[in-house]
Amino acid sequence: MENNFIIVEGKTFDEAVEQGLKTLDCDRENVTIEVLEEGKSVLNVTLKKHKIKMTKIHKPVSKNDPQESLSENGRFEIKTMDQESFLYIYPPKGGGSPVSADEIAFALQRKQIDNMNMEKLKAFAAKRDLFIVNINALTGDNPIDGQVIVEISKDVMTAVVTLLPPEGGRSLTTEEVVEKLNKNHVVFGIDENKIQEILTHERYYQKHIVATGAAPIQGTDGKINYLFNVNAKIKPEVLEDGKVDFKELNLIQNVKKGDVVAERIMHTEGTDGMTVIGRPLKAKSGKPINFKKGKNVVESSDGLQLIADEDGQVKVIEDKVSVLQVFEVNGNVDNATGNISFNGRVVVKGNVATGFKIECDGDIEVLGVVEGATLIAEGNIILHKGIQGNHSGKLISKQDIVARYMENCYAKAAGNILADAVMHCNLESKNKITVSGKRGLIVGGVVRANSEIAAKYIGSTMATSTKIEVGIDPELKERYDQLKGEMELLYKNKENVMKAVELLTKMSKMGPLPPDKEQILTKSISTNAYLEEKIEKINDELVNIKYILQTLSGGKINVSATVYPGVKLFIGNSMYFVRDQIQCSTFIRENGEIRIAPYMG
């Protein structure tokens, strides 16, 4: 706009300034402000508006000197605070000119302030820093004490003071500054040490924060700290050689009874704050939280822990923590599930693929087919269809194994084994093996049981080699066979060592042996002594086991239909080789021999 100044009114000084800045379209540092009439209000009711004159400062711009574009002339403002008037003189910027003392004097005269000391006014106007002075210091020669200007932030959380030096009067004291703060309603968070420091170092005309409010500390919400991975995702195990085992996916998180599965962090109430004028700031309390309990979990007596009440899989279901005693696989056990290790019962509604493993503390129940997989259970193993082991499938149970059919697998049960058909398997039972049902067939492989083996058919018309053993502890027999294998290897090694000893001994009789040959001879003699000691120890264990096996004579073999040629029957340490078909018979041991008796099933 063409005019250099405007006159505006407002309910407050700041409102009038803001209105003028909008009209002039410039910032506050680009104007000078002259108060023409002071406003007046009672109980927030405006009786008289503030009237000010705002003059826009023109900044000369030189095309040759970029610094000229940053130049700004000095300016001044007249502010009234605490019923006292202060003159704010702002220094010029860049190549700007200081504010004219005559211009200030004219503005003061308009406010009916006369008898100004022009020498002081000119000295003040020439200063190169922000200068604030009580207008009373410009009239006459009366001494003026040091003064303090108090400003409070809009959020009422800080109070700022600007100290003015005395003009012939006395300096301020800390107590006087605090008193001035109190008169301006600042009563909280006053830093008297800071005030003393400002006064000691005479830091005038600068704004200093001398009071700070206390912000409220909001309360924290209570929360549940889960001691297991709530969002468990498929994470294959990385082996030492860097390969990834996609069978070990670590999807199941097992817990034991008594394990702590979650902790409750209590909410806090929060701490109230305070503004510098002593107004309380209420803190917000945190929200409490409670455990959401599912199955098989209990709270501790203090309510701060959630504890598993059973062994099983810990999981969050519908926001509730539960311990599941049954782990269900709705499909197959394969790459999608990985191996399963669970502290409870496992139910597989599909198949178990080759190469995978299920291990649990309870029963394993498979509704589909088990391929060349490994199943290990502290409880029973129940296969609704059966196992096609492909010479690699294994079933190991601390109780019973039940399957419709078993083919090309190894199975070991601390209890009984029950099946409809057993083909080319290696079975071991601490008690009884029963193969009944529509087929009731045992053909091929080795079948061992402590007390009894019962079947419809054993062997086949093709004279398939089939070995049936009862009255013997399978584990003891397995140990006996293992020791026999070790003994054979030891004798073979001893034979090789003795050949070396004999050869080197002959060479030594013909003359001294070279150092390396002498060393080999010494080592061979030492190895031979070790092998003899090992052979003696294993031989003693073999004798003991053999004696136990010979004393076992219990057990029987029941065949309700036919035993075919090619079958070897063992009861204790007695053996019977079937050369002709035998119908509906029971085989028992009497007087150290196996006798064929009428069927006792």
Residue 381 near residue 398, CB atoms below 8 Å: no
pLDDT in tens, 51-86: 888 887 765 544 454 444 567 888 888 887 766 778
Average pLDDT over every residue of 481-504: 89
Rounded to 5 degrees, φ, ψ at 201 are: -95, 5
Q: Which of 338-347, 405-414, 460-469 has the lowest mean pLDDT?
A: 338-347
Grouping H, G, I as helix, E, B as strand and the rest as coil, residue 91 is: coil
Q: Report the C-alpha gap between 595 and 582 in whole angstroms.
A: 12
User: Does 353 score more than 90 pLDDT?
Assistant: yes
Average pLDDT over every residue of 425-435: 94
Confidence of residue 549 (pLDDT cuts 50, 70, 90): low
Which of 310, 311, 317 is CA-nearest to residue 292? 317
% of the chain beyond a pLDDT of 70: 90
Q: How many CB atoms lie within 10 A of CB 268?
A: 15
% of the chain beyond a pLDDT of 90: 45
Q: Which of 40-49, 82-91, 334-343, 355-364 has the lowest mean pLDDT?
A: 40-49
Q: What CA dihedral angle connects 305, 310, 312 and 316, to 10 degrees?
A: -40
Tell me the pairing of strands 593-598 and 582-590.
antiparallel
State in Å, rounded, how far the first CA of the chain is from the last one: 121
**How buried is residue 421: exposed, middle or buried, by Cβ count under 10 Å (0-12/13-18/19+)?**
buried
Q: What does the DSSP 8-state code read for residue 277?
A: T
Q: What CA dihedral angle connects 485, 489, 490 and 492, to 10 degrees?
A: 140
Characterize 360-392 residue by residue with b for buried, 16 or more Cβ atoms within 10 angstroms of its Cβ, and e for exposed. bbbbbbbebbbbbbbbbbbbbbbbeebbbbeee
Average pLDDT over every residue of 427-431: 93
More confident residue, 254 or 457: 457
Highest mean pLDDT, choosing among 122-136, 239-253, 463-477: 463-477
User: Does 217 score more than 60 pLDDT?
Assistant: yes
Is the Cα dihedral 276, 282, 287, 288 positive or negative?
positive
Average pLDDT over every residue of 446-468: 94
Please tell me the predicted confidence (pLDDT) of residue 1: 37
pLDDT in tens, 382-410: 999 999 999 999 999 998 999 999 999 99
User: Does 165 score more than 70 pLDDT?
Assistant: yes
User: Does 520 score more than 50 pLDDT?
Assistant: yes
Pick left, alpha or beta for residue 312 (phi over 0 → left; psi -120 to 50 → alpha; otherwise beta): left
Question: What residues does 147 pair with on adjacent strands?
Answer: 164
Rounded to 5 degrees, φ, ψ at 320 are: -110, 140
Please tell me the predicted confidence (pLDDT) of residue 54: 82
User: Does 565 score more than 90 pLDDT?
Assistant: yes
Q: What does the DSSP 8-state code read for residue 60?
A: -
From residue 454, give the alpha-carbon distance in Å to each of 153, 211, 560.
97, 97, 8
pTM: 0.49
DSSP code string of 209-253: EEEE-B--BPPPPPEEEESS-TT----PEEPTTS-EETT------
Beta strand residue intervals within 29-102, DSSP E: 31-37, 40-42, 45-48, 50-56, 75-81, 84-90
Residue for token pair 């902790």: 263
Q: Report the C-alpha gap between 90 and 109 in whole angstroms.
A: 20
Q: Report the C-alpha gap between 551 and 549 in whole angstroms.
A: 5
Q: Report the C-alpha gap between 104 and 126 in whole angstroms.
A: 12
Rounded to the nearest 10 degrees, what angle do helices 118-125 and 101-110 cross at?
120
Grouping H, G, I as helix, E, B as strand and the rest as coil, residue 319 is: coil
Confidence of residue 230 (pLDDT cuts 50, 70, 90): confident
Mean of all residue pLDDT scores within the chain: 85
Please tell me the predicted confidence (pLDDT) of residue 251: 63
Q: How many CB atoms lie within 10 A of CB 155?
A: 10
**Long-range contacts, stretch 381-386, CB < 8 angstroms, 24+ apart:** 381/413, 386/419, 386/420, 386/421
Q: Report the C-alpha gap between 105 and 116 in whole angstroms.
A: 8
Characterize 295-330 residue by residue with b for buried, 16 or more Cβ atoms within 10 angstroms of its Cβ, and e for exposed. ebbeeeeeeebbbbebbbbbbbeeeebbbbbebebe
User: Does 235 score more than 60 pLDDT?
Assistant: no
Residue 161 near residue 182, CB atoms below 8 Å: no
Average pLDDT over every residue of 173-191: 94
Confidence of residue 2 (pLDDT cuts 50, 70, 90): very low
Average pLDDT over every residue of 514-534: 88
Residue 413 near residue 399, CB atoms below 8 Å: yes
Average pLDDT over every residue of 157-169: 87
Highest mean pLDDT, choosing among 122-126, 338-342, 347-351, 477-481: 347-351
pLDDT in tens, 23-41: 887 777 777 777 777 777 6
Q: Report the C-alpha gap between 51 and 16 in whole angstroms.
A: 7
Tell me the pairing of strands 305-308 and 297-299.
antiparallel
User: Does 267 score more than 80 pLDDT?
Assistant: yes
Average pLDDT over every residue of 300-326: 88
Q: Report the C-alpha gap between 375 and 368 in whole angstroms.
A: 14
User: Does 562 score more than 90 pLDDT?
Assistant: yes
Q: Report the C-alpha gap between 497 and 506 in whole angstroms.
A: 14
Rounded to 5 degrees, φ, ψ at 53 are: -110, 125
Please tell me the predicted confidence (pLDDT) of residue 13: 76
